[in-house]
Structure 1
Amino acid sequence: MFLSTVLSKSIALRTPNNIILSWLGCDLSFPANKLVSGEHCKIVQYENSGMVWLEDMSTNGTVINMSKLVKKQLHMVQNGDVIHFVYRKNEPEQSECLFWLSTVTVPSQDNTDAMEPERKRRKTTNGDGPALGLLRDLLGRKALAVEAKTDKMEDSLTCIICQDLLHDCVSLQPCMHTFCSACYSGWMERSSLCPTCRCPVERIRKNHILNNLVEAYLIQHPEKCRSEEDLKGMDSRNKITQDMLQPKVDRSLSDEEGSSDYLFEFSDNDSDWSDNRQCPGYRKEGAQDPFTTGSSVSVYPRSATLLDPVQEYRCSPQGSHVICSCCLQAMPDRRSEPGSQQHAVQQCGVCQRPFCHMYWGCERIGCQGCLVRFSGVNLPNKCLDGVLNSNNYESEILQNYLSSRGMSWRDVLQQGLQALEQGAFHLSDYRISGSTVLCYCCGQRTFKELAYRFRQNIPASELPAAVTARPDCYWGRNCRTQVKAHHAV
């Protein structure tokens, strides 16, 4: 009995009972391949019947003619069977230890002539043996064979470490790659990176969906189940504890107050979240209620310039509230009241989102004025960076022009508003003027459009020659590649 490799090397198995091992000193060893088990498989040929049986004894399994054997499973092999001791399902070209089994029998003189035509018919043109010729033909069509026989569901449910179906699987976060708990337990002792993508592992979670899919798949394919000994061995190697799967999270009060999700964890009592400075009985930490005590202490921030109607207003017992889009705090909803635009401005004139800055002053740290009139918008000093359609080159030209004349973005705003009132400039939203109430985002977006009109009306004589000598782009302000430096220059 012979095993023929893909490299035209024949290995004789002289004893009736042969065990394929990875250690030296055995019938057939592969010491360089770590995926071959210590006792991988046993090939037995019975002298009386001449039948050859293969019994799998490995952890990763043995593949015969693209069909996988699990541990302790027997399979009768015949001439021409292709045996993989190591088989990569997703990478067939990297499969190792590929053999072609052929048994040697001594034909009698009577049937020699009858077998001769068969032997000649199967002889290949390059002089190779029949097994090797058919093996090369099989490898030439390996893509078609794998596509036809590979079980896509099994591929998706296979652990890349043990190359078998997932057992008690866990998923790593943030990459979400999944492995057997026992397989990853051995890996995490050596590395803190994901075995697949080498991404740092932050958390480990049970993947209940995949575990249920594996269970359903094994019901349909019971022959692919692991042996009881294998399952017990994997459970004993599982070092992932419950603390690793459910780490303790220390949430302080400051974390909850800074989280937007916390604000929407409503209780049965609406007053728990809707109370505001003008609700009856409201108490702010460190301050007294001026409505009930008559104290001169005010709960309003000093920066807020409030009108008397706003200060004197008291919420009704069933009054509605609205949440500020900046600080996420509640305030009384007075937008539908007559004359509210004069004493209780609470929403942006463009996007209609509610803000509290013009009502009683926004208390969010870092708020630059979440709701103001367009003429009083407060932008950062770097607001001119990329102000012209995110075109850094054109924006730099505008900044150099302003610097040479001692001007800032506020001058651009004031001159632009004057030109807007005179009809020299036109915005895409004709409703916007200097007195329009805008939120910070809408104000910044409108300023960019106003700055574009300002740059458009700069005379060419006031610009450097290097700027005016450039050819105009065919697409103008609608050019989609103007953000690229090589195109803008």
Structure 2
Amino acid sequence: MGQPSQKPPSQKPPLQPWGRLLRFGGEESEPPVLLRRRELTIGRRRGCDLSFPGNKLISGDHCKIIVDEKSGQVSLEDTSTNGTVINKLKVVKKQTCPLQTGDVIYFVFRKNEPEHNVAYLYESLSEEHGLAQDSFEANKENMFHVTKDTSGAGQGDEPQFLPPLPTTQVCFEEPQPSTSTSDLFPRVATSSMEPPAGRAPPSSPDGEPNPNLHLLVTDQGGDTLSAPEGVRAVVEKPDRMEEQLTCCICQDLLYDCVSLQPCMHTFCAACYSGWMERSSLCPTCRCLVERICKNHILNNLVEAYLLQHPDKRRSEEDVQSMAARNKITQDMLQPKVRRSFSDEEDSLEDLLDLSDEDSESSDVSQPYIVCRQCPEYRRQVGQLFHYSGPGSEQRAMQAPGDTPSTSASVTPAQDYVCTLQGSHVICTCCFQPMPDRRAEREQDSRIAPQQCTVCLQPFCHLYWGCTRTGCLGCLAPFCELNLGDRCLDGVLNNNNYESDILKNYLATRGLTWKNVLADSLAALQRGVFLLTDYTVTGSTVLCYCCGLRSFRELTYQYRQNIPASELPVAVTSRPDCYWGRNCRTQVKAHHAMKFNHICEQTRFKN
């Protein structure tokens, strides 16, 4: 974390120290921090009296320790993003807490990573103030109101300190993603009540800070006055803009920020440059990162915010350091992580490792795919069923889908064995690999088709039978496609009313969608019906989606050719819609019932 630095003393005669801070966990030779001035500032900024320039867990201006010259009362005022922990109680931004000898102050508290903690012990060096501290400890119960947490079961008996003065301003800060203590101490709802006499603030049994306790404020003037019962503190709104523009890695305002895709979480480019070398997952949501892009809009917002708050701008040294660490100079793909993953990431990273490759990279960099016709697959199955008895290997080879689950008419896959590291394609329906034999089919028509003629997407149903549950036959000749019983729902331009008229017409005559398809294909062959894609015929191999789209075109023409005498009067008596089949309002039931849409557009045509 680096050693803290203290501001060099001025040339004036040194003032008598009134207190000191002793570092917890520091080296024995580390001198104490003497408190001489009325106000001691602590933070990451180099201009602070006690500076931690290399510790990103400490805010630029983290807090300040103030002594009242009249009463001698010492207090700590928090100005940080994540708060300060005093005696296992958390003080959040713009709140003050009185200090006394023996108080332990955590500028950084990491419950699970204690080696990152930054803690100091406060000691008073004034005899008079030491007596005042004893008096303060004895009367501390009279200076606060104790409240109960009503936010959850099992926490109702935990007391919480509220500010004693109605004029005191308290700032409640919304929780945000953080690498420090914000996740350890959630804010809780409170209601006022008096504490029993002599009751001390409780802490958790393991000695960790109690997440339900928040020591809030006393009057910043130093003297604490008793407040009338039922009077509440004035609540100040936090700086929401600063919260939204804070990087959760460095806990400072975003600088040259980038957004991750697809999750769109945003970080400083320099901060994420270091992260992406260790992991390809988003630091916030653990989503697999595919692309990294500059966020120009957010960068402009940060600049506009800094124009109004120039004091929050990063130092020149910090800017130069971030520029040196930044490895994201333009929009780029997430680089491949080449390291042994940490315990918290390895399982998910291993599962998604195949997806982390660039799809446009060469075949050499692609993962080795094994399908059911690869020698490696057969060898693995043979080893798996070596002790399962005779015939078990043959049954295992057939089980995954040499016989299709959706159509008994599809012939089994040819007795083909893939070449070593041969080319494969992934079925668009079941996402299982199969050997890529599309080029061979051009010379040998006996090889089953592996792709749709229209969209050219690969499908495995005709090759060895698709095994996806619910697949109706993802690839077949148009005349043999199994479109399912629901293919007539909204078949006429998503107009449910017109589609129901057609379904009722077919039902009264004992016809189904298969009769519509057969009659329409016959009319297509005669040239009576037309398709947008004029190359499609009844024998064209189509996938389910392309087949359904062509079926809808033919069904509209089928409905258009039904004689008016065979339809109910309520159907034929409706006037034609001006927009006809191109009407965008026909999906609404009232409009569809009022006008006929099985017609061409008659008005407003270009």
TM-score (norm: length of structure 2): 0.40
The higher radius of gyration belongs to 1
When you count helix as a share of all residues, which structure comes out higher? 1
